[in-house]
Structure 1
Amino acid sequence: MEALQKSLEKVRKELHQYPEISGEEYETQKKIKAFLTKNASCTIVEVAETGLVAVFEGKEKGKTIMLRTDIDALPIQEVNTFQHQSQNKGISHKCGHDGHTTILLGVANMLTNHPVEKGKVLLLFQPSEENGKGAEMVLNDPFFKNINIDFVFALHNLPGFTKNEIVVKSETFTSNVKSVAIQFNGKTAHAAEPEKGQNPANAIATILTFAEKESKNVPKSSDFILITPVYVTMGEKAYGISAGYGEVHFTLRSWDTKLIEEKKEKLEQLLNQLELEHSLKIKISWFEEFYSNINNKEAVSIIKKSAEKQKLSINEIKTPFKWGEDFGLFTQKYKGAMFGLGAGKDTPALHNPDYDFPDDITMTGVQLFYSIAKEVLDS
C-alpha cells in the first residue's frame, strides 16, 4: 500500500501542475488513459468528449456499480509556490479534483490486483463538473444509454472536517443551484445630462436590493434560499459619460427546486417592471444548473458499513452543504449517494487560491471506494 500511495501522490501532483478547465480536459484525459493502460486491467471507453469510463467485469453476472470522479479545474490563479504549482496561468485545481481523480486511479489499481468475482464496476472520470454540464453530457453519451446501473457513488474532499473522517447524510446532501446573467441595455448620455439617456444604475440597485431581501441564508431552515451577487459591472471609466449598459450575475440556491422557481419568476416579473420604468432593454440568461444530491438511504447505509469495516470515523451531519455538485443529476436517476472525505480542519477552503488537496487522505478514499464496491457486488 505504501508503494501505491507514493505512486498516486506523484500522479496527483502532475495533474495539479497541468490543470484544465471544464470542457478542455484533453491532456488530463490522456494522462488518465495512460495510467489505466499501464496499471489496470480494464476496458477503457471515451465518453462525453473529454471523459473516460474504466470498466471492470467479474467472471459472474451481478450488479453494476458506478464510482464517479470529476477531472476539471477552475479559472483561479494559484498563489502557492511549491514545486507542483500550476503551470497553466489563471487555472488551478482549487476544488481538489486532482485528488478525486487520483483516488479513482487508485481504485482501478486495487480492482486490478484484487478483482471482483461477480458484477461490474464502472469508474467514471467525468469532465465539466464545475460548469454543471458534465453529468448531463455523460448521461446523454451512447455508452450510458445501453447500460443498467444499480448504484452510483461519489465523494468530495471537505476542508474544515477532520482528516480521513467520512461525512454522510441521507436525503439532501447538497443544494440545488441555478445561475443567471442579466444585461441592462440603455443609452449613454453626457454625465452632466443623464436625463437624455437611459442609465441602468437605479435598476441594478433595485435588483441588488431584491436579492438581499428575498434571501434567507438559514441553512437549517427548510425554506433556505440564497441569492448571491457574483458579478456586477456598469458603464466605463470615462467621467463625462452617463452609463448606458450594465450587467449583474447571481446564483440562486435552495434545498427546494420549487422555491428556486418561485424566486426566478418573481425576479423576472421585477425585471419586466424595471424595463418599462427605466426604458431599458433587459436580457436574462439562465445557465449552470446543478440538481441537489439526493442520497438514497440504502446507499448511505452501504457507505457507513464500509467505513466501519475500514475503522473510519463517521460524521453524520444534519444540514446539507450549500454548494452545488452536478453528481446530483446521477442521484436523480439512480440509487446512490455522495459522501464527504475530511481534508483537515486547517486546510484552506475549497476555491481558495492557496488550497491544495492533502495527499495523506488519498488512500482512505481509495480503500473506502473499493470497500463500497465489494459491499454492493457481494451482497
Structure 2
Amino acid sequence: MDFVIPENKTKGMLEEIITLRRHLHQNPDLSGKEAGTSKIIQEFAKSHSEVEIVSDLGGAGLALIYSFPEEGPTVMIRCELDALPIEEPNQFSHRSLKKGISHKCGHDGHMAIVAGILPWIKTQAIKKGRIILFFQPAEETGKGALQVLKDVKFKALKPDYIFALHNLPGEPLNSIITVEDAFSCTVLSFSIQLTGKQSHASEPENGINPAVAISRIITGLNDFRIPDENNPEFALLTPVYLNMGDKAYGISAGKGELHYTIRTRSEEAMEVLKKKILNLVGSICTDEKLKFNIQWFDHFLATVNHAKCNEIIKEVAIKNDYQLITKPHPFKFGEDFGWFSQHTKAAMFGLGAGINVPALHHNDYDFPDEILQTGIDMFTSIIQKILNSSEEP
C-alpha cells in the first residue's frame, strides 16, 4: 500500500492534549521518582483507548500496547517521564506546583505528543502489527534507558523500530530537524578526588596541598578541548564543580575535588579521551605526591540513527509539508535514547520550538503548545507508513 498522510488526525483533540501537557507541567517528578507522572498517563490512556498497559518498566516506565489483528512489525514511540531540579520563576497558570522541580527540557510536551497518538489509533483501519507508546523514566540522569533494557518485561516487547523526538529551541517553529548517523553526542561525567596531607598554614612544607595539581589538571584538560563542531575530532570538556580544603585560614588544604562533563562524537573518541585524562591526572599526581581517584558516571551513548528510520522521518516530514532541516553534525547535548539505538532500528528527530525562545534547561523555558500537533502528525505518519508497508522490518 502506498504511503499517504493520515486523513483522520487528532486536531479535534488538540485542546485536551494541551490540557494534559499543562497538567503534566504542573505536576513534575524527578528522575527515578516518576510514579505520579506515570499514573497521570495511565489515567489518560484508560479514558481514550483500549490498550494493554505494562507498568513499572525499569522503574516507573510505562508501555501502552495496541495490537492489530494480523502479525506485523512492532513500532515503538518513546518519550520521557522526568523533570529537572530547577525552580520555576514563570507565573503562568500552569506553573509547577512542586518547589524546586519543573519541566525545563520539554518532557511534558513529549509525553503529551505521544499520549496524543491514542485517539488517532482508534480511527485507523490498519490490519497488522503493533504500536507501543513508551514513557521512559530517568532520562535526565542517563540511567533510565539502561535500566529499562535490563527489565525482562521490556525485553518481551521486542520492538522492530523505535522513534523519538526532542523539541529544539533556536530552530524554526514546527520544523523537522534530522542528522545523518549520530543525532546527539556521547556524554560522560567524571569526578577526581585528590588526597594529600593537611598541615598548618604557616608550615605548608609539612603537608601536601593539592592546589598546584588542581591548577595543572585544569590547564591540561583545557588543552584537550576541540570545540569546533565542524571538526570530526570534536571534544568538549566542561568544568562543573571544584572544591578544595575548608574556610579555615590556619590550615593548608589536604584534599581537593574536581567534576567535569565531557562530550565527543562517538564511543571510540570517548575512550581515547578517557585514556588521555587518566594519563594526565596520573602524571600530575605523581609529580605532586598526591593520591587520586577518578569516578565515571552519567553516561549517555551517542544516539546513532538507523539509515532506514532516518529516511522514513524525512519522507513523512516532506509529505506533511513541514520544513525539513538536515544538520551536518550531531547536537552537543546527551540523550540516553542512544542505548536503544544500540539494540534496535531507531532514530530521533528534532522538532523546532521557535527561534527567539528560552533554551532547554533555562528556568524560564516552557514547552510551546504550538508544536504539539506537529509532533503527533509526525509520529502517526511514521506508524502508518511502517504498518501499511509490505516490506519486512
Q: TM tier, shorter chain?
A: over 0.9
Contact 2:302 2:338 in 1 (8 A): yes
Rounded to whole Å, the distance in 1 between the matches of 2:289 and 2:373 is 60
User: Residue 183 of structure 2 corresponds to which residue in structure 1?
Assistant: 173
Contact 1:223 1:256 in 2 (8 A): no
Rounded to whole Å, the distance in 2 between the matches of 1:245 and 1:277 is 16
Rounded to whole Å, the distance in 2 between the matches of 1:228 and 1:321 is 16
Rounded to whole Å, the distance in 1 between the matches of 2:254 and 2:97 is 39
Once the two structures are superposed, residues 94-126 of structure 1 have per-residue CA deviations (whole angstroms, 9 ceiling, x without a partner) of 110111011111012221343632101111100
Matched, 1:267 2:267: no
Question: Which deviates more, 19-28 or 153-162?
Answer: 19-28
User: Residue 372 of structure 2 corresponds to which residue in structure 1?
Assistant: 362
User: Residue 45 of structure 1 corresponds to which residue in structure 2?
Assistant: 54
Alignment of 1:78-93 (within 5 A): 78-93=88-103
User: Residue 30 of structure 1 corresponds to which residue in structure 2?
Assistant: 39
Matched, 1:5 2:14: yes
Q: TM-score, normalised by structure 1?
A: 0.96
User: Residue 107 of structure 2 corresponds to which residue in structure 1?
Assistant: 97
Matched, 1:278 2:288: yes
Contact 1:58 1:115 in 2 (8 A): no
Match of 1:209 among 197, 200, 219: 219
Contact 1:78 1:353 in 2 (8 A): yes
Q: TM-score, normalised by structure 2?
A: 0.93
User: Residue 318 of structure 1 corresponds to which residue in structure 2?
Assistant: 328
Rounded to whole Å, the distance in 2 between the matches of 1:19 and 1:115 is 36
SS of the residue 1:279 aligns to: coil
Amino acid at match of 2:203: E
Rounded to whole Å, the distance in 2 between the matches of 1:299 and 1:12 is 27
Rounded to whole Å, the distance in 1 between the matches of 2:97 and 2:253 is 39
Once the two structures are superposed, residues 41-77 of structure 1 have per-residue CA deviations (whole angstroms, 9 ceiling, x without a partner) of 2100011120100001111111111110011111122
User: Residue 3 of structure 2 corresponds to which residue in structure 1?
Assistant: none
Match of 2:341 among 327, 331, 335: 331
Contact 2:183 2:330 in 1 (8 A): yes
Alignment of 1:99-138 (within 5 A): 99-114=109-124, 116-138=126-148
User: Residue 310 of structure 2 corresponds to which residue in structure 1?
Assistant: 300
Name the Cα RMSD after superposition.
1.4
Matched, 1:230 2:209: no
Once the two structures are superposed, residues 106-154 of structure 1 have per-residue CA deviations (whole angstroms, 9 ceiling, x without a partner) of 0122213436321011111000111111111111111232343221110
SS of the residue 2:233 aligns to: coil
User: Residue 140 of structure 1 corresponds to which residue in structure 2?
Assistant: 150
Match of 1:16 among 14, 22, 25: 25
Match of 2:264 among 238, 241, 254: 254
Q: Which structure 1 residue ranges, 5 or more long, are not aligned?
A: none
Provide the aligned length of Structure 1 versus Structure 2. 379
Q: Report how far residue 241 of structure 1 moved.
A: 2.3
Q: Report how far residue 352 of structure 1 moved.
A: 0.8
Q: Report how far residue 195 of structure 1 moved.
A: 2.1
Question: Which deviates more, 30-39 or 108-117?
Answer: 108-117
Matched, 1:185 2:195: yes
User: Residue 60 of structure 1 corresponds to which residue in structure 2?
Assistant: 70
Amino acid at match of 1:88: K
Once the two structures are superposed, residues 9-58 of structure 1 have per-residue CA deviations (whole angstroms, 9 ceiling, x without a partner) of 11111111121111111111111111111122210001112010000111
* Percent pairwise identity: 44
Q: Report how far residue 3 of structure 1 moved.
A: 4.2
SS of the residue 2:339 aligns to: helix
Once the two structures are superposed, residues 161-205 of structure 1 have per-residue CA deviations (whole angstroms, 9 ceiling, x without a partner) of 011000012211110111111111223222232222222111111
Question: Which deviates more, 267-276 or 215-224?
Answer: 267-276
Rounded to whole Å, the distance in 2 between the matches of 1:263 and 1:311 is 42
Rounded to whole Å, the distance in 1 between the matches of 2:309 and 2:287 is 52
Rounded to whole Å, the distance in 1 between the matches of 2:71 and 2:183 is 32
Rounded to whole Å, the distance in 2 between the matches of 1:74 and 1:189 is 41
Rounded to whole Å, the distance in 1 between the matches of 2:18 and 2:204 is 60
Rounded to whole Å, the distance in 2 between the matches of 1:18 and 1:239 is 46
Q: Report how far residue 278 of structure 1 moved.
A: 2.5
Rounded to whole Å, the distance in 2 between the matches of 1:11 and 1:158 is 21
Q: Structure 1's 239 and 368: CA in aligned 2 closer, same or farther, altered over 3 A?
A: same
